[in-house]
Structure 1
Amino acid sequence: MKRMLVVLLAAWIGLIMTGCSQQEVEEEPQFLEVELTANPEKAELNEEITFEAKITYGTEKVEDADEVKFEIWRSQAEEHEKIVVEHDQNGIYSLKKSFDEEGTYYIISHVTARRMHNMPKIEFIVGSPSEPEEEGKSSEMKMDDQDSESEDQHGH
Structure 2
Amino acid sequence: MRKAIFLFACVLFLLAGCSKENDAAEKVPELLEVSVNIPEVIQENQEAVIQAAVTQGEEKVEDANEVKFEVKKAGQDTSEEMIGEHQGKGVYSITTTFQEAGIYSVTAHVTARGMHNMPTKEFKIE
TM-score, structure 1 as length reference? 0.62
Unmatched 5+ stretches in structure 2: 1-18
1:113 aligns with 2:112: yes
Q: Deviations over 1:101-142 (max 9, x none)?
A: 110000000000010000000011111xxxxxxxxxxxxxxx
> What letter is aligned with 1:92?
V
Which consecutive aligned stretches of 4+ in structure 1 deviate over 6 angstroms post-superposition?
none
Distance, in Å, in 1 between the alignment partners of 2:38 and 2:64 is: 20
Give the Cα–Cα distance (whole angstroms) in 1 for the partners of residues 43 and 89 of structure 2.
Answer: 29
Structure 1, unaligned runs of 5 or more: 1-19, 128-156
Query: Percent identity over the alignment?
Result: 41
Structure (1/2) with the larger helix percentage: 1
Q: TM-score, normalised by structure 2?
A: 0.76
State the partner residue of 1:7.
Answer: none
1:46 deviation in Å?
Answer: 1.1
Rg (Cα) greater in structure: 1
Letter in 1 for 2:114: R
Alpha-carbon offset, residue 26 of structure 1: 3.1
Which structure has more relative contact order (CA 8 Å, sep 6+)? It is 2
SS in structure 2 opposite 1:39? coil
**Cross-structure match for 1:58:** 57
Q: Larger strand proportion, structure 1 or 2?
A: 2
Report if the CA contact (8 A) 1:73-1:80 is conserved: yes
Aligned residues: 105
Equivalence for 2:39: 39
